[in-house]
């Protein structure tokens, strides 16, 4: 049985994230994705502190965002994060929706790679600790 490799959070953009056009400034989506990613990884007890304890850093090496609709002040967003790759890299796909209407606001993905803290070398295969925490096997 494959574990559920997704998690969803809700947040309401604060006033200080709004730009002069009265929408969420595009750069703030990155921190919203980070909040969803941390919540997802915490679900598997492998958030950043646990990554460091396991001897690996996981830098983001690629991030893609597609803006579909503006996010507005006072409107709650649902952000779903799902792990879609875990063998050679950690890919997380995101879907940002308006909580009230369900309309897609943004879709994105991030790619992280494991780097050994001891050697500073990139790991071309994800370390087994990731698979153990996720409850998956390499594909």
pLDDT of residue 91: 97
Helices of type H across the chain? 28-43, 48-53, 128-134
- C-alpha to C-alpha distance for 27 and 36, rounded to whole angstroms: 15
State whether residue 117 is helix, strand or coil.
coil
Which domains does the chain show, CATH number per domain? Answer: 6-134 (3.10.129.10)
pTM metric for this prediction: 0.94
CB within 8 Å of 8: residues ≥ 6 apart = 36, 78, 79, 80, 81
**In the structure encoding, which two tokens stand for residue 64, read together?**
């893609």
Identify which has the larger pLDDT, 137 or 122. 122
Q: Cα-flanking dihedrals φ and ψ of residue 112, to 5°?
A: -120, 150
pLDDT of residue 137: 77
Please list, residue by residue across 5-29, b when 16 or more beta carbons sit within 10 angstroms of its beta carbon and e when fewer do: bbbebebebeeebbeeeebbeeebb
Question: 17-58 pLDDT, tens per residue?
Answer: 999 999 999 999 999 999 999 999 999 999 999 999 999 999
Residue 9: pLDDT band (50, 70, 90) is: very high
CB within 8 Å of 15: residues ≥ 6 apart = 73
Question: 63-77 pLDDT, tens per residue?
Answer: 999 999 999 999 999
pLDDT of residue 3: 79
Task: Kindly compute the dihedral angle of the four CA atoms of residues 105, 79, 6, 108, in this order, to the nearest 10 degrees.
Answer: 50
């Amino acid at each position: 049985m494959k574990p559920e490799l997704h998690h969803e959070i809700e947040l309401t953009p604060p006033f200080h994230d709004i730009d002069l056009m009265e929408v969420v400034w595009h750069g703030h989506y990155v921190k919203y994705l980070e909040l969803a990613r941390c919540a997802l990884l915490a679900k598997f007890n492998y958030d950043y502190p646990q990554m460091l304890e396991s001897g690996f850093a996981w830098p983001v090496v690629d991030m893609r965002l597609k803006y579909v609709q503006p996010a507005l002040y006072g409107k709650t967003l649902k952000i779903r994060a799902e792990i879609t790759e875990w063998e050679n890299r950690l890919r997380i796909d995101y879907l940002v929706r308006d909580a009230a209407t369900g309309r897609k606001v943004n879709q994105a993905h991030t790619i992280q790679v494991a780097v050994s803290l001891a050697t500073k070398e990139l790991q071309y295969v994800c370390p087994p600790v990731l698979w153990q925490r996720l409850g998956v096997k390499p594909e």
